[in-house]
């Protein structure tokens, strides 16, 4: 019996396959250092599996969000062609790349927390040297 949620599960399975395949294409098959620096954070599929929204971030500090999306757009044909050999679907979904700013936000919070920790440890050292006199 096919349940009501079976399309939801299929959608998730296809999203997972696409994420894995596109990650492999960028890392091992592209030969482009900029593409290799891109990390896929999530893939969302429409119910009809016609559109794959791929969320990305880049580990290269000199690449802006726009640069990251531009490099992916220019490689979209290459990615789709290779994706078609890795994932068998009736229709190859339209790929939409979107920058995932949450990674950068997390790095920023982490950096702020480290600064606070360093300031607090610096203050503790100063307090100890004041009491020793």
User: Full-prediction pTM beyond 0.95?
Assistant: no
Q: Which positions ≥6 away from 72 have C-beta within 8 Å?
A: 35, 38, 56, 79, 97
Say yes or no to pLDDT of 123 above 50: yes
**Residue 127: is it exposed, middle or buried by C-beta count within 10 angstroms (0-12/13-18/19+)?**
exposed
Residues 42-64: tens digit of each pLDDT: 999 999 999 999 999 887 778 88
CA distance 70 to 106: 23
pLDDT tens figures, 5-25: 555 688 999 999 999 999 999
Cα(14)–Cα(9) distance, integer angstroms: 9
């Amino acid at each position: 019996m096919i349940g009501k949620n079976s399309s939801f599960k299929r959608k998730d399975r296809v999203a997972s396959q696409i994420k894995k395949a596109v990650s492999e294409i960028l890392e091992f098959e592209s030969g482009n250092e900029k593409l290799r620096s891109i990390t896929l954070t999530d893939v969302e599929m429409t119910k009809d599996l016609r559109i794959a929204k791929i969320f990305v971030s880049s580990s290269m500090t000199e690449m802006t969000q726009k640069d990251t999306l531009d490099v992916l757009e220019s490689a979209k044909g290459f990615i789709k062609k290779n994706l078609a050999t890795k994932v068998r679907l009736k229709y190859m979904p339209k790929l939409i790349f979107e920058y995932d700013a949450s990674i950068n936000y997390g790095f920023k919070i982490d950096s702020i927390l480290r600064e606070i920790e360093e300031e607090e440890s610096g203050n503790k050292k100063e307090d100890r040297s004041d009491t020793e006199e």
